[in-house]
Amino acid sequence: MLKKRGRTEPGDDFLTEEKTATGDRLRQYVFVIRELTAREIKRKYARSYLGIVWSVLNPLLSMAVMSMIFSTIFKRNIENYPIYYLTGSIFWNLFTESTNAAMTALVDNKGMLVKVRLPMEIFPLSRCFTAMTNFGYSLVAYTVMLLVLRIPFTPYMLLLFFYAVLLFLFAVGVGYILSVFYTLFGDIKHLYSILLTLLMYASALFYPVESTSELMQKIIRANPVYNYIACARKCVLEAALPDMGQWVKLFVWSGGVFLFGKLYFHKMRNRVLQKV
């Protein structure tokens, strides 16, 4: 009889390395995010005749109304008050839209989470990209407003894009954390809307910081979102760079919150998957 022999191998021997190249995978993720973002935007105006035109028209009209109101009814002694307000407002909207949408991203897509081999971050991230795209449309409207109100264009204004990217990172970090919270406790949604109101009044959207009490000024300056808004206003209205403290805050808040959010998100991955 022929003998056959063999020897055991340590268990994991047949586990082979991941073959897909990192570049290919990244490209695929970009494609997925693009498709998801396109979906959000398309469905937003899906039932309207003007469709995608609304994405520019809507911010433009609301900006026109706002500048009318703020330049006639609530007249303040701020130069170019409409632009002062609009700059703050588009940044604020970027932040609230992305965090609010990212918050529910995991729950809304729970069907997909477990079935599809995609990193879970893609869902909150695509929501943030949607907000970022809307921010882009708002910028078109914003440019129109700048023209109408005869604000001179300066190269400093290019910094707006840079600030937007930093704010985006910050919002993504917050969005990650919120999306995990939201899967664990549904109440966060309501709690967060109240927190946002509070944060909005601490962001000095309508009034100059200097007009408030000393304590309030401290609070406002501590608000990370205000920091982005203040820097944006500075580059548009004063054609100036932020000071050292502001630079540091910009980077630390964006980098710190983004990294923390990402880590937290990864740590909670299993809990979330079990919950949804």
Partner 1 sequence: MMVWDRMHSEKTKEERALRIFFSAFLLVFFFCLVCPGVSGSGVLRVFAAEGTVSFGPESYAWNIGEVNTLVVSFHGDTAVDRYAVCLEYDPAILEYLDGADRVDGRQIWLEGGGGEDSYERILMFRPRKSGNTQVKVVSASANGGQAPDGTDEGEELRMDGPEFISVAVQERGSRLSRLEIGFAEGMEEFSPDVLEYHMQVAYGVEWLPMEYEMEDEEAVVTVSGGNLKEGSNVVTLAVQKGNGDAVVYTLYVEREAAPAGMAEESIVGEGGSRTEGDTGAGQTESGAAGSQAEGGTGAAAGGNRADSGNTGIAGGSTGSGEGGISDGNADRTENAGGYGIPDGFFPGRTGKLALAAVFGVGTVAGILIFRYWRRRKRETGHRGQGSEPMKVINLDQTVIDVRHVTMNFRLAQDESSSLKEYLIKTLKGQNHYRVLSALKDVTFEVKQGEVLGIIGTNGSGKSTLLKIIAGALTPSKGKVVVDKSKVHMLTLGTGFDMELTARENVYLNGAIIGYTKEYLDEKFEDIVAFAELDGFMDERMKNFSSGMVSRLGFAIATMRDSPDILILDEVLSVGDMFFRKKSEQRIQEMIHSGATVLIVSHSSDFIRKNCDTVVWIEKGVMRMIGKPEEVCRAYGQMEK
Binding residues (CB under 8 A) for partner 1: these are 1-16, 18-20, 27-28, 31-32, 34-36, 38-39, 42-43, 46-47, 109, 111-118, 185-188, 191, 270, 273-274
Name the minimum Å distance from CB 130 to partner 1: 13
Convert 123-136 to b/e letters by CB count within 10 Å (16 or more is b): bbbbbbbbbbbbbe
CA proximity to 175, closest of 135, 130, 134, 128: 128
Between residues 31 and 251, which has the closer beta carbon with respect to partner 1?
Answer: 31
CA proximity to 251, closest of 155, 157, 195, 173: 173
Angle ∠(196,183,167) on CA atoms, nearest 5: 40
Between residues 48 and 154, which has the closer beta carbon with respect to partner 1?
Answer: 48
Name the minimum Å distance from CB 181 to partner 1: 9
Name the minimum Å distance from CB 186 to partner 1: 5
Between residues 75 and 115, which has the closer beta carbon with respect to partner 1?
Answer: 115
Between residues 76 and 189, which has the closer beta carbon with respect to partner 1?
Answer: 189
Between residues 47 and 150, which has the closer beta carbon with respect to partner 1?
Answer: 47
Name the minimum Å distance from CB 100 to partner 1: 17
Exposed/middle/buried for 87, CB within 10 Å: 0-12, 13-18, 19+? buried
Name the minimum Å distance from CB 54 to partner 1: 15
Enumerate residues 6+ apart whose C-beta is below 8 A from 67: 82, 83, 85, 86, 145, 149
